[in-house]
Amino acid sequence: MTFGNAEYAPYIIAVSFSILAAFLFYLYRAKRLTSVFARSMLNVSISLRRLKICCIALAIPLFALAALAPQWGEVQREIENEGSDVLIALDVSRSMNAVDVGISRLERAKNAARRIAEYVSGGRIGLIVFAGEAFLLCPMTSDKGAFLMFLDSAGTDSVNLQGTDIGAVFNEAFRVFSKRRENSKLLVLITDGEDHEGSAAALDRFKELGVSVYCAGVGRDSGAFIPAGASGYVTGKDGNPIRSARNAPYLKKLALDTGGSYFDISDSFSGLRSVISVIDSQDKNYYGARLVKEPIERFAFFVIPLIFLLTLELLLPEAKRLHLPGKMSREKGEK
């Protein structure tokens, strides 16, 4: 058995235990506050009361199991692969180790890449990592699991030659995209924008493909020092720490020259909507059909008894009949 909502298990279990604890506390308080006289007047049925308590006590774990979306068994179906080719270029230069966005720029950039991958449905996605040079770390694939595995492995040690050569990104992207003349494709460049090598010639060549570049900037304009090892910072030739700043104007120009757009991901990922909307609006490339096995949802096995128990609890009376003092005295008089 697997659970479709396994990632929410801690929250679901915590809520279930809270409900159970609140219910037990209610029973404890109700028992203390109910006087002997009140219980005798209501003529409470102990058996019915216990049955109602059992209904609620059993309903709480059933609710937790249903919320976890249990799955077992598999069903096979054919799906057609249609979508866009999305190539992500991730900056892994040392400047991406700067911590000026709450976490390191690189971790922030990787989180953005993961979000983009979530929306590439039916299409293919690939990953270029770059610093002083660029290379294709993950070839274009429809397997998101493989892409995420390569993405997780990317770090500032992935490229031996340091520096930042965005021109190398365009050369590598040109090589990838020119292999297949698909209509729907785009390049997402995630970087702090520090280009120490220049990219004009490579960009002119890349523009021949008609592929738009969407630039995601990360970092602060004020800049931050670059950590080096356990302590200290990367220093320049003069021995002073190097302050790395985001170069938003440069990235905006790159995006404008290719018909794309620039957005900042330092504080939020709302700018990713522009990329997602383009992916959704493009004509879809057809990649053929494939058979997939999907787990079968079985939450109904727990929802049905849950509804039954709650309904039973509502319908069961707690008192056999109500005895009123006036009525009791009249009955004795008649006798």
The residue written with tokens 């219910």 in the block is 23
Cα-atom radius of gyration of the chain, to the nearest Å? Answer: 32
Residue 322 in 3-state DSSP?
coil
| Exposed e or buried b per residue across 283-313, where buried means at least 16 C-beta atoms within 10 angstroms of its C-beta | ebbebeeeeeeebeebbeebeeebeebbeeb
Q: What percent of the chain lies above the pLDDT cut of 90? A: 47
Note the pLDDT tens digit of each residue in 288-331: 556 667 888 998 999 999 999 999 988 888 665 544 455 444 54
Question: Which tokens hold the place of 271?
Answer: 């700018």
pTM of the model: 0.64
- The predicted structure's pLDDT at residue 135: 94
Asked whether the predicted pLDDT for residue 212 surpasses 60, the reply is: yes
Q: Give the chain's length.
A: 335
Task: Report the amino acid identity of residue 173.
Answer: A
Reported in sequence order, the residue ranges of the chain that DSSP labels E, i.e. its strands, are: 2-3, 70-83, 85-91, 124-130, 134-141, 185-191, 212-217, 224-225, 243-244, 262-264, 285-297
As given in the structure block, the two tokens for residue 222 are 């004020």
Q: Phi then psi for 198, rounded to 5 degrees?
A: 90, 150
Q: Are 279 and 119 in contact (CB under 8 A)?
A: yes
| Rounded (10°) CA dihedral 267, 271, 273, 278 | -150
Q: Which amino acid is at 34?
A: T
**Structural domains in the chain, sorted by start:** 2-69+299-328 (no CATH), 79-289 (3.40.50.410)
Q: How confident is the model at residue 6 (pLDDT cuts 50, 70, 90)?
A: confident
- Report residue 37's pLDDT band, with 50, 70 and 90 as the boundaries: very low
Residue 207 tokens read as: 């523009």
Identify residue 202 by its one-letter amino acid code.
Answer: A
> Residue 204: helix, strand or coil by DSSP?
helix
Structure tokens at 296: 């079968």
Q: What is the mean pLDDT of residues 152-177?
A: 91
